[in-house]
Structure 1
């Protein structure tokens, strides 16, 4: 898997050999993982990644690696604990969109730090808990809140909420807990209509279409439609980030037999390793297949007073959105007149 070629390594472990070596170094230096008498860290990590990528059962890994079931289980949990310690180095640090941005998707959203949304990931829970974890799609799932940067790296993730929980409720929890989503005042995330339009969270206009126009001859008819189109184009990054995550790791495609806490930890580990792949590999091997997959188918030195800790509607924030939509529309209309 590791030595033969980058192609084989990517196919089996979802990353090239260089990235794999960096991951092994991180779990040694930060995660505290050590070679044992009979197994080196590289083999432990290869087993771990292979299980995440293909959701293989213990008996299948026993055959592939010629190890006992007890050995595989023990080292899987050892590696999982080590990877979870990498959150501080692998989660993306927020970088606001600069005033001089020329990115067509993001230049209107100055000081925005990314996009935010929730997604459902199937889990296995005890019978007594199934009603709470049953989602609106009738799946037994956890509602996972994620926030990502324009480069599809996750800034924040909160997993574990019941599938029946509303997105707004999960966001409130993320803002209030110790390990919380941090939104410095003056910055904000793009979010969909599952969230309130309030300071720190910029959402589309309600009852106005906001998916990008697919027919080239159709144009937005108002500043609200134009704003919603621009907003949807930028906010799409969080949907793509979740899409890559689920496509990369088969373990997230359906609930596993692990205890619920372990299933939640696996989701977090998948997010952290996803970020490492995005950081280290010039070309993400999964991204070319993402559009087809999606068709089928959230710094300790900051002062708490300078962080947004609630998500309540705000007249000032509504004015901010209206002014932004008007500015977009003015520039767009000026370009159209110039072309005519």
Structure 2
């Protein structure tokens, strides 16, 4: 029964419900600007992975053991300013790093090919992700300046929406704290619930009572670390930092 329901939802609804809005796309960066005191420009989404505990798999069991010693799936998602999920992949074992999942995703392929929901759009990720022209982690190339500090604060307070999204998603669907299923069907359940989550947001919305203007400790962000970044990515990073 679960398999049939998930199959129906994924085949008929997922592509329409879990995507960047094609209408009113310019409202996305405006709403993201409101999530931080400084206002982070041109944000199209925030990306992160979340571990969903599952039963010990019967095949390749060791690859599903995450850093906490649990068996899990690492589900990678991108959300918008209203917590709506724009992208999801839920097929990777819990031992796999977020950055590797993103590198091997259709999302990365699409954005590397030049697609954007609006001009100059970027996605914010944490320090686990490498710098790309379209993917901005909390890093600074060069000395830490007042502009850079404001950039880091705005980055972290804006990016917090994806962590909040996961919290709301798991509170709404407590089974996501532990799916007593094998990886294949567990991944399908995660996709299905993400789709249902978006449908509910579209119908009812989600009231936000979070104070997005909290001050954050940014020391742990390793602000000067930029590895393997191409010149176009560094140029875009410097351009964004200059806006602060």
Bin for the TM-score computed over the shorter chain: 0.7 to 0.9
1:92 and 1:275 in contact (8 A); partners too = no
Q: Structure 1 residues 119 and 96 mapped into 2: Cα distance closer, same or farther (>3 Å)?
A: farther
Measured against aligned partners, the alpha-carbon deviations of 1:161-214 in whole angstroms (never above 9, x if no partner) come to 01111111100111489xx66562532201111110112101112699xxxxxx
The CA distance in 1 between the partners of 2:28 and 2:80, in whole Å, is: 13
The CA distance in 2 between the partners of 1:87 and 1:326, in whole Å, is: 38
Q: CA deviation at 1:231?
A: 0.6
Measured against aligned partners, the alpha-carbon deviations of 1:39-70 in whole angstroms (never above 9, x if no partner) come to xxxxxxxxxxxxxxxxxxxxxxxxxxxxxxxx
1:274-289 → structure 2 map (5 Å cutoff): 274-283=197-206
1:258-273 → structure 2 map (5 Å cutoff): 258-273=181-196
Q: CA deviation at 1:92?
A: 3.7
1:97 and 1:111 in contact (8 A); partners too = no
TM-score of the superposed pair, with normalisation by structure 2 = 0.77
- For 1:80, the equivalent position in structure 2 comes to 6
The CA distance in 2 between the partners of 1:102 and 1:265, in whole Å, is: 30
1:193 and 1:203 in contact (8 A); partners too = yes
Q: CA deviation at 1:99?
A: 7.9
The CA distance in 2 between the partners of 1:101 and 1:157, in whole Å, is: 21
1:324 aligns with 2:240: yes
2:79 and 2:162 in contact (8 A); partners too = yes
- For 1:235, the equivalent position in structure 2 comes to 159
1:100-249 → structure 2 map (5 Å cutoff): 103-105=33-35, 108-175=39-106, 182=111, 184=115, 186-205=120-139, 222-249=146-173
1:97 and 1:110 in contact (8 A); partners too = no
TM-score of the superposed pair, with normalisation by structure 1 = 0.57
> Which of these two proteins has the greater Rg computed from alpha carbons?
1
Q: Structure 1 residues 140 and 153 mapped into 2: Cα distance closer, same or farther (>3 Å)?
A: same
The CA distance in 1 between the partners of 2:29 and 2:9, in whole Å, is: 36
Q: CA deviation at 1:104?
A: 3.2
1:96 and 1:113 in contact (8 A); partners too = no
Unaligned 5+ segments in structure 1 are 1-73, 209-219, 292-311, 329-340
Q: CA deviation at 1:250?
A: 1.6
Q: CA deviation at 1:155?
A: 0.5
Q: CA deviation at 1:225?
A: 1.6
Note the aligned Cα RMSD (angstroms): 3.2
Measured against aligned partners, the alpha-carbon deviations of 1:234-292 in whole angstroms (never above 9, x if no partner) come to 11111111111111112111131x332111100001100000111101445xx66x89x
- For 2:215, the equivalent position in structure 1 comes to none
Unaligned 5+ segments in structure 2 are 212-227
- For 2:225, the equivalent position in structure 1 comes to none
Q: Structure 1 residues 114 and 97 mapped into 2: Cα distance closer, same or farther (>3 Å)?
A: farther
1:92 and 1:149 in contact (8 A); partners too = no
The CA distance in 1 between the partners of 2:110 and 2:166, in whole Å, is: 18
The CA distance in 1 between the partners of 2:167 and 2:130, in whole Å, is: 24
1:93 aligns with 2:20: yes
1:191 and 1:235 in contact (8 A); partners too = yes
1:167 and 1:195 in contact (8 A); partners too = yes
1:98 and 1:110 in contact (8 A); partners too = no
How many residue pairs match? The answer is 218
Measured against aligned partners, the alpha-carbon deviations of 1:266-323 in whole angstroms (never above 9, x if no partner) come to 0001100000111101445xx66x89xxxxxxxxxxxxxxxxxxxx622222222223
